[in-house]
């Protein structure tokens, strides 16, 4: 009987020494998993769904010829046009060419500034634009007044345009920033 008691004591000691650590780790992991699931449930419950929202099913679409009208916030000019001060500003498409007034530069990540009835001086350079754009008061030292022309610039590039033209110059990294 003494040997059985000694064996039980030894097994209890091993169990408390080694198995309790594993149980504690498992309890902690389960606790962390549960708190993460609770957090995700809270986030999902915070999302409010519009009760009038009805997803479009493919069976609801009658014809593939229908024009899809994108929401105002997702509209972009295509193709992108630059134009002189005589051309109208706004969103452009192939049917209504307009000078885009929401351009951004993908190189310097700045909004393109537009100045009607001005053109850039030939001495305008990158460093000048980098230090002074988009402040007109600081830029006007390199702008010359010219009727019918429009000066465009970001912090890394500039262009003067007098007629409506597609933006095809690969040196200009300008894109429509959505209308």
Q: 119-125: list long-range contacts, CB under 8 Å, 24+ apart.
A: 119/143, 119/144, 119/146, 119/149, 119/151, 119/160, 119/162, 120/144, 120/151, 120/153, 120/158, 120/159, 120/160, 124/158
Give a yes or no: residue 121 inside a domain.
yes
How many distinct structural domains can be found in the chain? 1
In a domain, 90, yes or no: yes
Structural domain of 112? 75-176
Biggest CA-to-CA distance, the chain: 112
Please report whether residue 50 resides in a domain.
Answer: no
Predicted confidence (pLDDT) per residue in 79-138, tens digit:
999 999 999 999 998 899 999 999 999 999 999 999 999 999 999 999 999 999 999 999
Is position 82 within any domain? yes
- Residue 111's pLDDT is 96
Residue 129 maps to a domain: yes
Tokens 């969103």 belong to which residue?
Answer: 91
Give the residue ranges of DSSP H helices in 47-151.
126-132, 136-139
Indicate the pLDDT class of residue 75, thresholds 50, 70 and 90. Answer: confident
Mean pLDDT of 58-71: 55
Q: What is the pLDDT of residue 33?
A: 59
Q: Residue 103: inside a domain, yes or no?
A: yes
Assigned domain for 70 exists: no
- Residue 160 belongs to some domain of the structure: yes
Percent of the chain with pLDDT over 70: 66
């Amino acid at each position: 009987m003494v040997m059985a008691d000694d064996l039980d004591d030894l097994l209890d000691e091993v169990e408390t020494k080694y198995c309790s650590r594993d149980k504690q780790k498992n309890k902690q992991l389960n606790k962390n998993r549960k708190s993460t699931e609770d957090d995700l449930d809270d986030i999902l419950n915070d999302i409010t769904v519009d009760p009038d929202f009805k997803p479009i099913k493919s069976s609801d679409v009658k014809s593939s010829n229908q024009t899809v009208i994108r929401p105002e916030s997702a509209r972009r000019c295509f193709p992108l046009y630059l134009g002189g001060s005589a051309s109208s500003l706004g969103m452009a498409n192939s049917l209504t060419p307009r000078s885009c007034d929401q351009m951004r530069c993908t190189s310097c990540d700045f909004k393109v500034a537009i100045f009607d009835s001005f053109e850039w001086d030939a001495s305008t350079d990158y460093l000048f634009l980098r230090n002074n754009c988009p402040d007109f008061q600081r830029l006007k030292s390199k702008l010359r007044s010219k009727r019918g022309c429009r000066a465009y610039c970001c912090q890394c590039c500039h262009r003067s345009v007098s007629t409506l033209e597609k933006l095809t110059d690969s040196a200009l990294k300008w894109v429509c920033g959505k209308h």
